[in-house]
């Protein structure tokens, strides 16, 4: 299997996770699924149960709400493909962690934690012979959020998505369950 990487991005319920799983099923049986969700309430617990049911039983699951690259390095074993689902929750986890200080001047330390985590993921991808599929939400298409935390979240996730999109081979925007390869559409000149 050739090493490849993709970022799958889109809105809620756009088909991102299913498309990531479909890509994996077409390429290999040796999949490491990295789940960033935390079961903090009953509704999220139910979502996690349903998400687990949707995956093949032979895939290994690694629960990593933070320190994703470190956890992957420890647990990758013979995986040929790693799915990280999702960057959206990873950023949320980092911005709401008690150990990340949020001062009166804003969310600088928390945003730096997000940058470090994304950098760690890119480094992990570079060191690994496995292919990677990353799943994230596009949250920049709506209104400007009303609170400082919400704006910091939108900005941090937007920067994380941009950094990952620059690195990966393909970027798919999911629209109503249909993947559009936006990186293939990219043009460097205005006339094209």
| Residues contacting 52, CB < 8 A, separation 6+ | 61
Strand partners, 62: 34
Average pLDDT over residues 176-181: 94
Per-residue confidence band for 104, with pLDDT thresholds at 50, 70 and 90: very low
Using alpha carbons, list the distances in angstroms from residue 94 to 13, 17, 36, 149, 164: 23, 21, 11, 12, 17
- Report pLDDT for 188: 53
What is the DSSP code (8-state) at residue 106? B
52 pLDDT more than 60: yes
Average pLDDT over residues 10-33: 93
Has 58 been annotated as catalytic? no
CATH topology of domain 5-185: Rossmann fold (3.40.50)
Collapsed DSSP state (helix, strand, coil) of residue 173: strand
Catalytic residue (choose from 4, 30, 51, 151): 51
Spell out the domain ranges in the chain.
5-185
103 pLDDT more than 80: no
Average pLDDT over residues 52-80: 93
Per-residue confidence band for 110, with pLDDT thresholds at 50, 70 and 90: confident
What pTM was computed for the model?
0.89
174 pLDDT more than 50: yes
């Amino acid at each position: 299997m050739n090493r490849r990487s993709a970022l799958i991005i889109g809105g809620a319920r756009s088909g991102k996770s299913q498309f990531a799983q479909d890509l994996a099923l077409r390429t290999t049986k040796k999949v490491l699924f990295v789940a960033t969700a935390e079961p903090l309430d009953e509704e999220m617990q139910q979502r996690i149960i349903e998400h687990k049911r949707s995956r093949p039983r032979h895939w290994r699951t690694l629960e990593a709400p933070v320190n994703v690259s470190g956890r992957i390095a420890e647990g990758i074993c013979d995986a040929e493909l790693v799915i990280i689902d999702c960057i959206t929750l990873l950023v949320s986890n980092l911005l709401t962690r008690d150990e990340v200080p949020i001062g009166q001047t804003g969310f600088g330390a928390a945003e730096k934690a997000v940058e470090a985590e994304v950098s760690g993921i890119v480094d992990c991808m570079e060191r690994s012979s496995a292919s990677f599929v990353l799943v994230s939400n596009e949250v920049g298409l709506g209104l400007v959020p009303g609170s400082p935390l919400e704006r910091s979240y939108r900005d941090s996730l937007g920067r994380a998505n941009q950094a990952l999109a620059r690195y990966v081979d393909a970027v798919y925007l999911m629209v109503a369950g249909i993947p559009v390869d936006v990186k293939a559409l990219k043009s460097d000149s205005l006339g094209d």
